[in-house]
Each structure stands twice: as C-alpha cells, then as structure tokens.
A and B are shown apart, each in its own frame.
Chain A
C-alpha cells in the first residue's frame, strides 16, 4: 500500500499535498483505487479529509487529536509511527515542505527505514521504480532505488508533480478515523505563533514576467513607456536601484541585492547597464532580454536576447507588435 501524508495549516490544505497524491498515483500505476490511502493528521481535520476524498484513492484516514494542533515534530512522529505500524504501507509519500523536513528524518530513523528526499520524478524500468533526486546543487540527478525493509519514505519536491494531474475518483473515497494514543507530556517542542513576514506591497518574486527599467529611461516622465510594455505583456514593472532612489518608482519595485530577488519566466531589462548588484537579483530568470544603447553594457553578458538600440524607438514598436 502507498500512504500519502497530507499537510495543512489553519484549516487550509497545502496544495503540495495534491502534488504528493499525484506522485503516489503515478507510483501506484493505475492501482490507486485499491492501493493508495491518504493520511490526514491534526485537530478537526474532517473538512480537509472531505476535500481529499475527491481523489482517486482507496480511502482517506484521519488521526484527529488536539495534541496534534499545533504541529510538533514529536507529536507527528509519535502519531505517524503508530499509524504506519498499523497500516503497514510499502511506501510513504510526503511533500518536501519545511514541515516535512522537520519531522521526516526523525520518523525514518525512529523506524530505521530508508528516506529519499526531494524527489523530482519517478523512473520505472523492468518493474523497478527509481526515485530521481538532484545532487550537487542540481548539477546532477541520481536515480535512487530504496533497499531494506518497508516502508520506504519518499518526499517529493514541491512543483515537480502537477497538482492538477492528481486523478479524481468516480465517487468520494471513504473516510475513516484511526485512533492513536499520543502522550502529550512526551512532546518537547513548545511552538510559538508562526512568524509573519511583513507583506511586501509588491511581490515581484511571484511574477511570471517582469519589465525592468534602469537609468536609460532618463526621466520620470518616460516611465509610462515601460509601463505600456508591461501592460501589453501582462508583466510587473520593476526597476534598478537608481530609479527607486530617485523616487521614480517605489522602493518595493526594486530588483537587486538591495531590493527583491526575482526569477520570472521572462525578464525584460530596459536601459539597465547590469551592475552586479542588479544581476544577482535577477540571474535566476528563465529568459533574459535586454535593450541598451551601450553594446558593452554588462547586461548583455547575461542576456539570452539583446538589442543594442534606443529603447524609446524599440519599446513603442514592441508594444504595437504585441497589440496586433
């Protein structure tokens, strides 16, 4: 049996759970209806369980206990160790979240079983499934086949499996409760209220496309030139430090070592020379395109596409082309 462990907080299911379900279903190879269960731990988890029962699965199992709210590594380890003892799954799949990273190694070593972390794909050859995981900062990938007694623990990298690929069942999967005894006094962690980071007025890190302006824009009155392109592309507008220093755009739109670090699919740099402090903030972008008058501008060193030219001629032309 394959057991997928759900993750949720404040009554909301973490969408990485659906990705883990998708991974579990892929591993079950069409047998999910008879071979895959989803486990939900926490207090008052009925709503979460109902949501997950839509999945194609043998069933959803809940462990409902006030001791499990809020999350603690000791509480989860104790509950999961008992549930696994009872359910005897062959593989336990968890989303590779911060919470999982906190307790999964402890759980695996408590049971003395293999743990394969940060898995990005499955590879089945000759009936043997290997778990693919990155090594050396992602420079290499390893195909790992677990050995030893089951269960084997597998955590899947967030975003590696598609949540929307998780198969839905014809009818809701049955939900049943599992009773486990957890000794509250054995829980050593005393969690405090979760830290809330000050919300950024503009969260550029989530943007898919960014149009960024630099000193080449010359004056504040010309900012709309870039804004039009951003609108046409459905992109966020960002800037290098001098633009925000001058107050032409708010500080919240600054990209670079002194601003936000971004990794959009498309980063379009207009009139940005590409000082290294700026580059370190956007080097993770998938595709970088640059327009700059200076052919020696360092931005062209990192750009995938570059145009040496006047942005005031090129940008309106681009906007027109996009409108067509």
Chain B
C-alpha cells in the first residue's frame, strides 16, 4: 500500500513540477539570443564562490546570509538522505539498514539543527522584522515554505526518537515525505525556483560586469522593443530572481527617491512573460521614465547573489527607444554634440589642441614613449580635470615615464553605449580604434574610469585588445617601485575621504590603489558609507550627467552622495573620475545656504602631486 500511495503522490508532484518547469523552459527556448559560456575559468570561480561558498549572499547581509548558507548547505547534505528515503518508500531499494546510512544519518543531525536555526531566523526576519528590500507585503508563500523546511527538519530529528513501526513513527515518516513532495510542486511558481535555476544563472552570468553585447546592424538589429525581444539570459534571470532586494537596496536611483527599482523591473519581466503579453512595449512595461533613470553604476548586477544581469536589459530597452526616436531631449542634444563635434560637450577640438600645446604634450610614438595617455572628453575640455591631468604629467615626468598623446581623439562612446545609441557608439569606437591601431601603444593610461571600461572591455568586441590602466593604479605602481620612499610631510596630513567612482571601484575592481596613494602620505582615510567595490554613484553615469533638467532638487543622486561624503567629517574629498567631480561639486554648490561649505574636492592626481611637492619642500 505504502509503495503505491507514494508512487501516486510522487507522480502527481513530479508532474506538477515538470509541467510548470516546462512552461518556463519553453519561454526561455522561445527567447532570442544565446547563452554564452566563454571564460569558463572565471565562471567556475564565481560558481565556487557565489554558489558553493555563498559569498554574495553573505557579504552584504552577514547574518541573514549566514542563515541562508546554513539552509543551503543543509539542503545539499540532505540530498542523499531524501533520495534514499524515496528509494525505500517506493520499494526500489532499501539501504536504510546499512551501517553507513546510519552514520550518514547521524552526521546529518547537526545539519538539521543548523537548517532549523537558519530558517527560523529567516522566518522571523521576513515575517516580523521585514526589512524594506523584501517588499511591502509579507509573502505568504515564503512563510509556507519556511514552515515546510521547519517541518522537514523536525520530522527528521523526530525520526531518531520514534520507532518507524509505531503509528507515531509512520505519521512522522509520511509527514516528511509529503512535505518534500508538496515543496517540489510549489517550487516552480515561487521564488524558490532559484533552488533549481540559480546555479545555472550564476554560471551563465558574464564574468564582465555590465557586459552589453554589440548590436549587429548587418542583421538590422535595433535593440529591445517588446517583451518578445528579451533575450534568453534575461528570461532565465526573471525566473531565477529570489526577490531578496539587494539590487533595490543598492540602487542609487531608488536610494534618491526616484521611480527606478531594479527588482521591480525583474518582477515585471517575469509577470509579462508568464502572462504571455509578448508584444507589450518595454517602454510601457517598465515605463520610459524608469528606463532613463539608470546610471549604469552596476550595483544591482554586482550585488545580485543569483547571477541576474540588469544592464543588458535596461540598455537593450534604451536602444529600442533610441531606435524609435524616443530618447529624452537632453540626450538628443548630447547625440548632436557627439555626431558633429565628437565630444559630449559640443566644443571644438581646438580647445584640446590648446591644452596639448600648453601642457607640452608630445604625439605618441611607440619608439620614444612607454605609454599613451588618453585625455578623454573631460581631459580635452574641462578646466578642472585638466588641472588634474597636469598633476599626472608632473608625476610622470618626475618618475621618468615617457608618454605621448594621440593627435586625434574622439569621445570613446561611453555615454552613447550606456544610453543605447549603439550606432553612434560603434561609429566613435571604430574611429578611435583606427587611430589607436595606427599609434600602436602597448599600454594606455587614463584618468577617466569610463574610458577604462569602454576602451578596455567594449573595444575588445571589435577585436582591439590593449592594456588600459587608470592613473590611480599606474601611479600607485610607480610609488611602490620607489625604494623606501620617505614622506616627511606626513605629519601635517589631515583627514580625507575617498569617493570610489563606480567604473573604478566596482567595474575595474580597483579600490585599494587609490587608498594606498592617499595613506602613503600619512593622511587618515575616513570611509563614507558605500565604498570600495560597492560605492554609491555620483549620478553622472549612463548619460545622466546632462539629465539634471529632468531632476527635481531633492531627488538628485549627487545630493545624496554629497551628504554621505559630508557625513564623514573629512574636509577633503578625493575623487578619481571627472564626472564624479562635476556632479559632486554641483551638489555642493546647490546645497542649501552654507550647507556645502568647508569641503574641498581634489582629484587624486592633484592630491598626490600636492603631497609630493610638500614632501620635497619638507625634505
């Protein structure tokens, strides 16, 4: 009797599971695009850290993350036990009497305790404490599943005390098996589908943060316009989302009170896919307002523990809008500048030439120079950033680094790429690559983190490979080479704070080098909230440098970041990206009367050069 009953129940549960899974697999299969699995070493490494060791789950929320890890490891440990009990229950094989099963079962007891502790903590957190990242409503399904897991562990532990031949023992055994089956049937339609999908999703996530593939104009690709255009990985992402809200908690737009919530985007995608509204326009589904609020800082994607990639979807949808002439007005003006003047400001390149002449820069020649310095849009035109570059040149000259610049440089295309004007981006990229190939540098040095990402990673997809280094990393290297550098000025140093640019700290993963340079001179670094590899954006990325016309005071990302930096109490804020400096100085100038005073913004290169000069004077 027991065999047949369990067989019948198993078939029902597996059937329910399989049907729901198949419906989702069909949606993935129907989606365009392909999964990529290049750089498998990097992918396996991430799999090891993020799935097996639960790094991303624990890192940001250590207690909840550890509780989750206990549940996860417990589940893994229980896989064999559950299989054995089913084989026994179905009358297929009985190894329950073998001595090693006994040992295994005993070994599971501490795991059961750990799972129990973990799940009860999570249940209390979800149902009673309710952090905002988890949403406004208590998810009934999550509570049910937590109770299921609790039941599984309790019934398992009771199994040690109850003889299976008694009624109580029978009931206990059945309770355990029934909960396993019910759990299985519930998984696909719930966020617990991440149990099945997230190992795959994590592996399939690009090892490169914010990787957005090029459009192929030969195939008349225009970007994502409707739900049916969403690519395979995006569809997989939507079903993998575990709704933990890390993306929401870390999103600067959401943090500044804007409408964009990366978690909502994913849930909207899932809903639209399941509802079968394939022709629904993405501009309506997500709303255009929301799509243009993303700074492409990458926090959502980088913090996601289950491998979701938000940026290909957001930028893909922007491309669809741009292709249909639906970009906001401020971007139209910037695109005009890029098209006509080949820089975001719409200024004439004679200004760059003036700077090149006044800074006595040589045209790069691989025979005479070690590195090519890429000035960038800001370096060519922005007075403030030019000061920082002059400092960099002084440092390089003092260290006998031979460098040159390109005679002709255009915007790398970063703002075009991130806002979805792919055509403009490819035009600029191709033009620059042609110049770079002619010049033939082995190493490019730049002070703009956006140029690092665009030249270093985006240009690679055009077949152009070059080593590009941010000035903070390069100069930190130079200082290390100097044997036992003495910094006699150190005593006069004060407290400074460092604002990590998203494209340096998060994208390039370089947050130690700038700090090394600052602390070298004895300055005390006061860390702001959100630093290192998870900084809070200044608000400029993704073409939003020019968007402040659309932004009401009070919802500006730059204002929020300025307040965070101010809260450190440091009088000097060191930055390492021209756009961060522009935004944060803007926030300072706009701070309510007197509120922004007493803070000095200094670019890292100017800071280092200043300290070196002080050293020289003191030494």
A→B interface (CB under 8 Å): 137, 215, 219, 240-242, 245-246, 257-259, 273-277, 279-280, 283, 296, 298, 301
Contact = CB atoms under 8 A, between A and B. Distances in A.
Given A258-B548, A301-B383, 15 more contacts: A137-B341, A215-B589, A245-B553, A245-B590, A246-B590, A273-B589, A275-B585, A275-B586, A275-B589, A276-B345, A276-B378, A276-B383, A276-B582, A283-B347, A298-B384
Name B's interface SS: helix
B340 A137 contact: yes
Interface in B337-385: 340-341, 345-347, 378, 381-384
B593 interface: yes
Contact of A241 (B330, B545, B590): B590
A246 B592 CA distance: 7
Contacts of B592: 246
Nearest to B378: A276
B546 interface: yes
Name A's interface SS: loop
* Most chain B CB within a 10 A radius of its CB, from A219, A245, A273, A277: A245
B589 A241 contact: yes
Nearest to B341: A137
B549 interface: yes
A280 B345 CA distance: 6
Contact of B383 (A219, A258, A298): A298
Interface string B582-606: 1001100110110000000000000
Nearest to A280: B345
Contacts of B345: 276, 279-280
Counting from the closest, the 4 A-B pairs by CB-CB distance are: A298-B383, A242-B589, A258-B549, A245-B590
Contacts of B548: 241, 257-258, 277
Contact of A259 (B381, B549, B590): B549
Contacts of A279: 345
B357 to A, nearest CB: 14
Nearest to B347: A283
Contact of A257 (B330, B347, B382, B593): B330
Contacts of A280: 345-347
Contacts of B593: 219, 246
Please classify how large the interface on chain B is, using the bins under 10, 10 to 19, 20 to 34, 35 or more.
20 to 34
Contacts of B546: 257-258, 277
Contacts of B340: 137
A324 to B, nearest CB: 35
B590 A242 contact: yes
Contacts of B590: 241-242, 245-246
B391 to A, nearest CB: 13
A276 B589 contact: no
Contacts of B346: 280
A277 B553 contact: no
* Most chain A CB within a 10 A radius of its CB, from B333, B589, B593: B589
B556 to A, nearest CB: 9
B347 A277 contact: no
Contacts of A215: 589
Contacts of B378: 276
A203 B353 CA distance: 34
B610 to A, nearest CB: 14
22 contacts: A137-B341, A215-B589, A241-B586, A241-B590, A242-B589, A245-B590, A246-B592, A257-B546, A258-B548, A274-B383, A275-B384, A275-B586, A275-B589, A276-B381, A276-B384, A276-B582, A277-B548, A277-B582, A280-B347, A283-B347, A296-B387, A301-B383
A17 B15 CA distance: 79
A211 to B, nearest CB: 19
A277 B586 contact: yes
B448 to A, nearest CB: 14
Given A241-B548, A242-B589, A276 B553 contact: no
A154 to B, nearest CB: 25
Contacts of A277: 545-546, 548, 582, 586
B606 to A, nearest CB: 12
Contacts of A276: 345, 378, 381-384, 582
A245 B549 CA distance: 11
Contacts of B553: 245
Contacts of A246: 590, 592-593
Contacts of B330: 257-258
B348 to A, nearest CB: 8
Nearest to A218: B593
Interface in B532-557: 545-546, 548-549, 553
A293 to B, nearest CB: 14
A106 to B, nearest CB: 23
Nearest to A297: B383
A208 B14 CA distance: 78
Interface in B558-616: 582, 585-586, 589-590, 592-593
Contacts of A240: 589
A301 B381 CA distance: 10
Contacts of A301: 383
A13 to B, nearest CB: 31
Nearest to B377: A276
A286 B19 CA distance: 72
Contacts of A245: 553, 590
A203 to B, nearest CB: 17
Nearest to A247: B553
B583 to A, nearest CB: 10
Interface in B273-302: none
A301 B333 CA distance: 23
B542 to A, nearest CB: 16
B479 to A, nearest CB: 27
Nearest to A296: B387
Nearest to A215: B589
Nearest to B333: A257
Nearest to B350: A139
Contacts of A274: 383
Contacts of A219: 593
A250 to B, nearest CB: 14
Contacts of B381: 276
Nearest to A139: B348
* Most chain B CB within a 10 A radius of its CB, from A137, A215, A240, A257: A257
A298 B582 CA distance: 12
Contacts of A296: 387
Contacts of B586: 241-242, 275, 277
Contacts of B341: 137
Contacts of B549: 257-259
Nearest to A240: B589
Nearest to B384: A298
A277 B347 CA distance: 12
* Most chain A CB within a 10 A radius of its CB, from B330, B341, B546: B546
A219 B592 CA distance: 11
B340 to A, nearest CB: 7
Nearest to A273: B589
Interface string B98-131: 0000000000000000000000000000000000
* Most chain A CB within a 10 A radius of its CB, from B340, B378, B590: B590
Interface in B374-406: 378, 381-384, 387
A274 B582 CA distance: 11
A242 to B, nearest CB: 4
Contacts of B382: 276, 298
Interface string B322-343: 0000000010010000001100
A275 B347 contact: no
A298 B378 CA distance: 13
Interface in B235-263: none
A275 B546 CA distance: 13
